[in-house]
A and B are shown apart, each in its own frame.
Chain A
C-alpha cells in the first residue's frame, strides 16, 4: 500500500463480559487503510464476539471503536459503513444471484439500471459468468456462493470488509483456491479486509498482518513472518501446527536443560532472556540419520513410525529414555531410509530452535 499507513480502525481497551465470563479482555488493535488483517484464534477465543462488535451486532462492555478518528460505538449495524461476509454466507434464498448482489444498493435507493450495471461488474470481478445474474441462489455451488456473498458485500462499497470464517465449510482444494482469489481481490479493490479464522495456515496465505487471540486476549500481533519465526509464547508456536515442544530451564547464556530428562542443548545466541520456558523446534528443521550426526544438539532414539503428509514425510522418533516423542519431517523425494524399531540419531542447529515463554 502506498503512502504512510494511517490508522483506519482502532480498538481501545475493548472488553466484553457475558455475565461472569469475559469473552474479550482489554483488546487494543490498530488497523491501517487497505490492510488485510487476520484475527486467528481457536474456538472460544472471542474472535467471533470481536467481529460482531466491530460490525455493530454486539456492543462492547467497555472500550472504544474508532473508524477514521470517529467513535462508532453507538452506531447500529445498518448505519455503519462496514460490511461482513458471514460464516454461513447468509445469502437470501428467495432472491436471485442478481437480487442478492444488488440488495445493499436497493436498500440505499439506487435505481435499477445502475444497480444491474454494478452487479454485472462485480460478477465479472469475482470471475462469475454474467448469466448467473438471473440464476436461483440455491442452484449455485459452494464456491460460487462464496463469490456471490463477497460480491454482495462489495456492492455495499464498505470502508472495511469483515469476514467471519467464510471458507471453513469448504473442502481443502476449493479453500486453497479461494484463499488466493480473496488475496487477489483484496489487491484489486484496495479495500481494508479484516478476516477471522481458526486456521493460522489460512491467515498466513492471505494476510499482511495477523493477530493471535486466545481466551479473549490478543497475544501477539505481527506479520506472518513474525508469527512463524518469532512466536511470542508456547501457544502461538503450537498454533501453527505440529511442533516439538520441550520444557527447559536455562543453565547458561546459551544453554538449556530439558527439565524432564536432564538432557542439555545449545541455544540460539539471539534467544529471549527467559529463565525457564519451552524450546520449540519445527519438524521440518529437524535432521534425522546421517545429516544429524554433526548437529550441535543431538538425541538418540528409536524410529517409531513414519507418516506420508503429501509433499513431506513425517517420522516419529521416541527418545532412548522414552520420555519424549520427536517429530521430524523430510521432503517426500528425500526420504530417510530406516525401518520402525531402528536406532536413529536426530538433531538440530541451535539457530533453528526458538525459546518461548509459557
Chain B
C-alpha cells in the first residue's frame, strides 16, 4: 500500500493519468473486447457465452486469404512506390531546396486538413469515364481512357496519394541526419555518386525509411476508403471484410477474428523489421 501511495504522489504518474485513462478506455479496452469476442459463438452479441474457436476455423477454411493477400500486396506495393517517389523529393527538401523546403512542406501538409474521402472523390472526378482526364483526352486527341477508375492501379494511386506525407516527412528527417562530411569523406576515398549513395547515404537514412515504411504499411493495411471509392467492386480488401462482418452481416465474432489476425500479422512484420535493423546502431548512438 505504501508503494502504491508513493507512486500516486509522483508528479509523473499524475500528469500521465489523463492520457493513461484515455488509452485504457479508447485503445486497450476495445482491443481486449475484440480479442474476447473472437472466441464467442458466431452471431452473438454478449461476452457471457462458452468460449469457442469455431470462428477461427471458419475464417481459415473460407476464402478470406484472398482479401488478406490483396491488403498485404497493396500495402507492400504502396510502401515501395512511396520510397521511390518520395526519396528524391525528401533529398531535395533536406539538402537542396533551402528556404523553399518550408513552402513545400506546407503545400504537402495542407491537403491533410481536408477529409480523405473528399480528396478521393476529387480523384473520382479526374479518373471517371467522361471525367476530367478521359473527357479532355477525347476532346483534344479523340482517344479514350475510360477504364481508369475502379481498377487496382486506381486504388494504388489513391493510397500513394493519401499516404505520401507519412513517407515523405520521416524520410526528410532521415536524410538530413546524414552528415555532409561523411559524404565528402567517401568521395575523397574514391567513391562515385552512386557508391556514396549505396555505402553512406542509404544505410544512414535507413531509420527514416523504416519509420516512413512502417507508418504507410500499417495505414494502408487497414485502409478502406481507397478501395471503396476508387476501386468499386474491383477487389475486396480485408478492411472491407471486417467492416461488413460487423455491420452488414451482424457477425461480431467473425469480424473480431479477422481483426485479431490482421493485428497479429502487422505485429509480426513490425517485429521482424525492427529486429533486423538496430535503429540505435544505424544512427550511431551506440
Contacts and interface: CB of A to CB of B under 8 A. Distances in A.
A153 B191 CA distance: 13
Nearest to A84: B188
B286 A138 contact: yes
A163 interface: no
B199 interface: yes
B232 to A, nearest CB: 46
Contacts of B66: none
Give 5 nearest A-B pairs by CB, closest first.
A93-B284, A90-B185, A104-B189, A90-B181, A107-B190
Contacts of A92: 182, 185-186, 199-200
Contact of A94 (B181, B190, B192, B281): B281
5 contacts: A76-B187, A78-B188, A94-B284, A107-B195, A136-B281
Interface in A97-124: 103-104, 106-108
A255 to B, nearest CB: 55
B51 interface: no
A86 interface: yes
Contacts of B186: 92, 103, 107
Interface size class of A (residues with CB under 8 A): 20 to 34
A21 B197 CA distance: 34
Contacts of B189: 78, 83, 103-104, 107, 152-153, 156
Contacts of B182: 90, 92
Given A104-B189, A152-B189, 9 more contacts: A77-B188, A78-B188, A84-B188, A86-B185, A90-B181, A91-B185, A103-B199, A107-B186, A136-B281
A22 B284 CA distance: 38
Contacts of A84: 185, 188
B203 to A, nearest CB: 5
Interface string B182-225: 10111111111001000110011000000000000000000000
Given A107-B189, A156-B190, A94 B204 contact: yes
B179 interface: yes
Contact of B286 (A77, A136, A156): A136
B269 interface: no
A86 B185 CA distance: 8
B282 interface: yes
A84 B286 CA distance: 26
Interface in B260-278: none
B203 A78 contact: no
Nearest to B286: A138
Contacts of A90: 179, 181-182, 184-185
A55 interface: yes
B197 to A, nearest CB: 13
A288 B186 CA distance: 56
A7 interface: no
Contacts of A106: 199
Nearest to A88: B181
A309 interface: no
Contacts of A78: 187-192
A104 B181 contact: no
A57 B192 contact: no
Interface string A10-42: 000000000000000000000000000000000
A231 B14 CA distance: 70
Most buried by A among B179, B185, B195, B200: B185
A94 B203 contact: yes
B93 to A, nearest CB: 23
Interface string A52-91: 0001110000000000000000001111001110101011
Interface in B147-197: 179, 181-182, 184-192, 195
